[in-house]
Structure 1
Amino acid sequence: MLKDKVAYITGGSKGIGLGVAKSLLEQGMKVAISGRNLETVIAAAKTLEHEDYVLPLSSDVTVLDDEKDVISTILDKWGRLDVVLANAGVGHFAPVDQMEEDSWKQMIDTNLTGVFHTLKASVEALKVTEGYYMTLASLAGTNFFAQGAGYNATKFGVVGFTQAVMLDLRKYGIKVSTIMPGSVSTYFNDNEPSVKDAWKIQPEDIGKLVVDLLNMHPRTLPSKIEVRPTRPDLK
């Protein structure tokens, strides 16, 4: 069902993005991954099996033209686009009275405007294939916490944006979902994944979830998926 379909993942050089790429490649899909630093993305691509099915690309999701160029490159190489995962994100955490304006703007531009740019650049290609657009939100998109004003604002925004987009695009046969993980073992917020993170969701778990969504019957759409560690008491 998924063999030879084409996916694009932003923020695909590590963490959840790379984990999803691995899972899709195991299904026989072709996968483009992007990040701001092309050398980093190329290095990540070389760690993946089925490297011939991987297209490393450079893009800053805060720049719409970058995302348009990426989509054009994917279509030129593979002729179609079936799945898009808007995964790129950043986080800065501080009490609101101490938060720097630059930190606020970077989160808004990357986590929220970047998601819009990725959709804007890819939506016409997804109409052709009746494809699937996914965003990577967070449980922070429904649960607010101290020192998270900026991050909460972006993830609440991503959840609302994605749900409205789902209503706009389903008439074209495009499925739209937002995935809202809790704690995941990634490099996010300067974490270094290790055995201490064994209790957390692993990137490959999100990859399996994405595959399950893609294999679901076309008549059925889980539009908002919350996923959390089973045993946070083990941390």
Structure 2
Amino acid sequence: MWERFSYYGMRAVLAVYVATTFFAHLGAGANAEASLVYGGYTALVYATGIAGGYVADRILGYQRSILLGAIIMASGLFVLLIEDINWFLVGLALIVSGNGLFKPNISTMIGKLYAPGDVRRDSGFTIFYMGINLGAMIAPIITASWIGATWGLKWGFFAAGIGMILSTLFLEVAKKSLGHVGLPEKGKEGWGRFFAVGFGALVLAGIVFFLLSESTILGYLLVGIMVCLILYFIIAGIRSRNKVQLHRYIAMI
């Protein structure tokens, strides 16, 4: 709930804040520039989930991946308070990098709480998605309509950062009830991997910062990724020699 509060809360004020704070001097062009930042951010924030899932599966385990992602995301949200466009993009880059470690792995870890066929699985995910929807519903009201309108839009980012901290604290408190679920594999328990992945996440944030700064390059990159994925799914469907699987890939595209 609180992570989704954080995500949707900052999104509610993002475009307007960027347009009025950094591009107001462009007049009618402010909205276009803000849209490029907003669009680039929202595209990349979902793209990093692939790498985050791999890290959790092969290197860190789900619990530590989620913890690291939460720390990086919270840091990024507070960096957004700095009224400088370069620092603002750094904050967005940190959120993108951290989100890749957090978002895909929290759902997977919940699924691993239940054995295949466990009748409680549906109820567990129902509660999980109720929390997501509740956080998404109240976030814009609090960060934009109340805090942003009363004290300034940038304090909406502050509220989102507090939400991310609360999410991290709740996760740490709930660790005992998770048992062994999401823990690193045997032989991978050391914290050296945690800090190594953290360094890698910062490197990724640097790449994201560059892409957010160069919207034209980012646009070409996203189109290239889309084309490659479409070709991959079509080829994979054909090679599977399974018409049902091929039709599923085509429907997904």
Q: TM-score, normalised by structure 1?
A: 0.28
Which structure is larger by alpha-carbon Rg, 1 or 2?
Answer: 2
Between structures 1 and 2, the one with greater strand share: 1
Identify, as 1 or 2, the structure richer in helix: 2
Larger RCO (alpha carbons 8 Å, 6+ apart)? 2
